[in-house]
Amino acid sequence: MGAQLALPLVWPAGPSDDEFLVTPSNEAAVRLLADTAAWPVRAALLVGPRKSGRSLLARIFAARTGGQVIDDAEPLPEADLFHAWNRAQGDGKPLLIVADAPPPVWSVRLPDLRSRLGAGPLAVIGAPDDALVRALLQRHFLRRGLDARPDLIDWLAGRIERTHLTVLRVVDALEEESGGRRRRLTIPMARETLAATSMIVPEPRLL
């Protein structure tokens, strides 16, 4: 990864369905996972909200490094995670543990595991910024064959809640309203469809 990032980029670079969109909201996480040689230990923790692409990022990490990934780690036996962490130190292969949040939000009861998770690097996927919201909307609409013009993308990006899950739910709602047909989506249609939901900020009333 270079020192400067145009927005948005993808990781890994190149045409692929298996690529991760990179903007300032997740750039630090991508940089950390791309440079395992700088890790103080051979295991790291990747955290982020559901639907944030964290599992995709973990798969890319595994493909590029040959390391192991433990996804959705919270419900797994803590002893298993502890032993996996120790094995990674012994065999030298990087281990990436994926969770919703780090301790203490993730309530880890085993003290030895808690201390080991705290010793490793932490990669955080934050809430999507404006560039990522626009890129995700464009990607989801395109992959579903829906004709969403730039004016609609701009209108949605300025009004929807800034979460990865909301972006997905908005596209789901508009796809359902369009009946799955390849027809143009419009701002009036989106306004009517989303007006009664909590996914969109109400428009100011004109005086």
pLDDT tens-digit profile, the chain (207 residues): 444 444 577 777 654 556 899 999 999 999 999 999 999 999 999 999 989 999 999 999 999 999 999 999 999 999 999 999 999 999 999 999 999 999 999 999 999 999 999 999 999 999 999 999 999 999 999 988 899 999 999 999 999 999 999 999 999 999 998 886 566 799 999 998 998 787 887 665 444
Q: Are residues 108 and 25 in the same domain?
A: yes
Rounded Cα distance, 96 and 17, in Å: 22
Q: Are residues 60 and 37 in the same domain?
A: yes
Domain boundary among 124, 144, 169: 124
Domain boundary among 124, 139, 173: 124
Rg (CA), the chain: 20
Q: Are residues 161 and 137 in the same domain?
A: yes
Domain encompassing residue 50: 9-124
Look at residue 199 and tell me if it is in a domain: no
Residue 75, preceding bond cis, omega within 30 degrees?
no
* 131 in Cβ contact with 23 (< 8 Å): yes
**What are the structure tokens assigned to 30, written together?**
């991508």
Rounded Cα distance, 196 and 42, in Å: 48
Q: Are residues 120 and 177 in the same domain?
A: no
What is the per-residue pLDDT for 202? 66
Look at residue 68 and tell me if it is in a domain: yes
Q: Are residues 26 and 110 in the same domain?
A: yes
Give the predicted TM-score (pTM) of the model.
0.86
- Distances 49 to 10, 34, 200 between C-alpha atoms, Å: 19, 20, 19
- Tokens 């797994």 belong to which residue? 76
Q: What is the CATH number of the domain that holds 114?
A: 3.40.50.300
Look at residue 138 and tell me if it is in a domain: yes
Domain count within the chain: 2
Q: Are residues 145 and 183 in the same domain?
A: yes
What is the per-residue pLDDT for 3? 42
Nearest CA-CA partner of 146 in 173, 176, 187, 183? 183
* 18 in Cβ contact with 56 (< 8 Å): yes
Q: Are residues 117 and 135 in the same domain?
A: no
What is the per-residue pLDDT for 136? 95
What is the per-residue pLDDT for 31? 95
What is the per-residue pLDDT for 181? 59
Domain boundary among 102, 124, 146: 124
Q: Are residues 49 and 88 in the same domain?
A: yes
Residue 96's identity, in one-letter code, is L
Q: Are residues 19 and 114 in the same domain?
A: yes
